[in-house]
Chains A and B, each alone.
Chain A
Amino acid sequence: MSEPRPTSTASAMPVADPMVPTPYEVVGRRQEGVDTVTLTLAPTGSALPTARPGQFFMLWAPGVGEVPISLGGTGSDGTIEETIRVVGAVSRALVGTAVGGTIGVRGPFGTAWDLEAASGRHVLFVAGGVGLVPLRPSIAEAVARADEFLGIGVVVGARTPADLLFGDLLADWGRSGVQVVTTVDRGDRAWHGHIGVVTEVLDLVDLDPAATTALVCGPEVMMRFTAQALEGLGVELSDVQLSLERNMKCAVGHCGHCQLGGGFVCLDGPVVSADRAAPLLRVRER
């Protein structure tokens, strides 16, 4: 991952330049799963524009590098929540930033989930692993506006029960009438959800496939299988939204790092409809 242009002082920071990180202070830190942490970030000076669920920021760990991380949540006080899973050097450095430490933030970038498309219909959220992070603010919005939908379903897959994110939130959503189905690849008798992949439990959510809009986020293989399974149940691919993951560098359509098909995931994505993404998901990353 490349380093963004370092900046001199926080107060002189021009927020208009999308290549220049804005300093945010870590004001909260919560361990989520085994290897995942949620950071609450507050602007030290002027704040970045408000992000919409599905959009992402470029988070810069000074001296280490910069990576794309989706909006996890927005506080009323201008703070943003970012949930990060440790996979390599940059994510480790971000997660390791102590409360009081500074992280550089650029964005928000990319396309957002189109929850309006689900208005008057069933809305089904399907998340795999850390894919629940970008869906979380959108699910929260749907729950807050529940009467606008015929019903809300949330299907979450994880590797093991210990890897399942936001257990308390899932329980809260369940209590407020959302149909929540959890499934893990590996579990034991103590586990109260299902064992298997998300595609095996989609039909446990009671919905009308022809009147369903699905928002899906997870590893690309999982999204590919899920889109196929939803299509098999009778959901139109044009009513399925996916969030593509490609390595990114500039996030503004300059470097070509995230090129996929004829477009750039940082501009045309990450959220795209499955009918557009299906051929792209079969394209290997260069």
Chain B
Amino acid sequence: MKPIADLLAEHPFFEGVGAEELTALAGIGTDVRFAPGEVIFREGDAADRFFVLRSGRVGLEIHAVGRPPHLLTTLSSGDVLGASWLFPPHQWQFEAIALDETSAVALDAAELRRHLDADPALGYLLVQRFAGLLVKRLQAARFRLLDVYGDV
């Protein structure tokens, strides 16, 4: 099995992060795997991990009483999973479910926040990258609202 630092180094989210920082982050990471159908986290639970997806497919779902679960989006290799770990109240807002055999590195959220606070240069780089992803997802959500293939 590859060392966690190598798994992180291969992931686009950590591109440009130095070897020393990666080793430090690897210390708070675990190699995790999920079977198809396995729930990764549930809405309302403590958002205590940040997932760096390596392979597979994860669905983000929202549940409402009396309705089937609504699959909002899918994430796959090269993506990161979870935004709620960064912002109070640190609670998941959606349910994440593995749709295929999925592998990821799970970073401990509290430790990760401590690392980012302690190393502002790394903190800035990763939060900036994270913000870029959130903007990309927001734009994609807006694009989807246009329902471009819909009824003309």
Contact = CB atoms under 8 A, between A and B. Distances in A.
Q: Do A and B belong to a common assembly?
A: yes
Interface of A: 87-88, 128-130, 157-159, 163, 183, 185, 187-189, 191, 193-197, 199-200, 203-204, 218-219, 221-222, 225
Interface string B61-85: 0000000110111101110000000
Contacts of A200: 73, 136-137, 140
Contacts of B99: 189
Summarize A's interface: helix, strand, loop or mixed: mixed
Contacts of A189: 59, 69, 71, 97, 99
A196 B74 contact: yes
Interface in B92-145: 97, 99, 136-137, 139-140, 143-144
B74 A194 contact: yes
A177 to B, nearest CB: 19
Contacts of A219: 148-149
Contacts of A204: 76-78
Given A129-B148, A159-B149, A188-B68, A195 B78 contact: no
B149 A199 contact: no
Interface residues of B, number: 25
B148 A218 contact: yes
29 contacts: A128-B148, A128-B149, A157-B149, A158-B149, A159-B149, A183-B74, A185-B144, A187-B71, A188-B71, A189-B69, A189-B99, A191-B71, A193-B74, A194-B57, A195-B59, A195-B72, A195-B73, A196-B140, A196-B144, A197-B144, A199-B143, A200-B73, A200-B136, A200-B140, A204-B78, A219-B149, A221-B143, A222-B143, A222-B148
Contacts of B73: 195-196, 200
Contacts of B76: 194, 204
B1 interface: no
A88 B78 CA distance: 42
Contact of B147 (A87, A185, A195, A225): A185
A128 B144 CA distance: 12
A158 B57 CA distance: 19
Contacts of A87: 152
A222 B69 CA distance: 27
B78 A203 contact: yes
A114 to B, nearest CB: 25
A233 to B, nearest CB: 11
Contact of A129 (B68, B72, B149): B149
Contacts of A193: 74
A94 B78 CA distance: 44
Contact of A197 (B71, B77, B78, B140): B140
A159 B145 CA distance: 11
A204 B143 CA distance: 19
Contacts of B143: 197, 199, 221-222, 225
A187 B70 CA distance: 8
A195 B140 contact: no
A185 B147 CA distance: 8
Given A163-B149, A222-B148, 17 more contacts: A129-B148, A159-B147, A159-B149, A159-B150, A183-B74, A185-B149, A189-B59, A189-B71, A195-B72, A196-B74, A196-B144, A200-B73, A203-B78, A204-B76, A218-B148, A221-B146, A225-B139
A199 B136 CA distance: 9
Contacts of B150: 159
Sorted nearest first, the 4 A-B pairs with minimum C-beta distance are: A129-B149, A219-B148, A159-B149, A195-B74
A195 B71 CA distance: 8
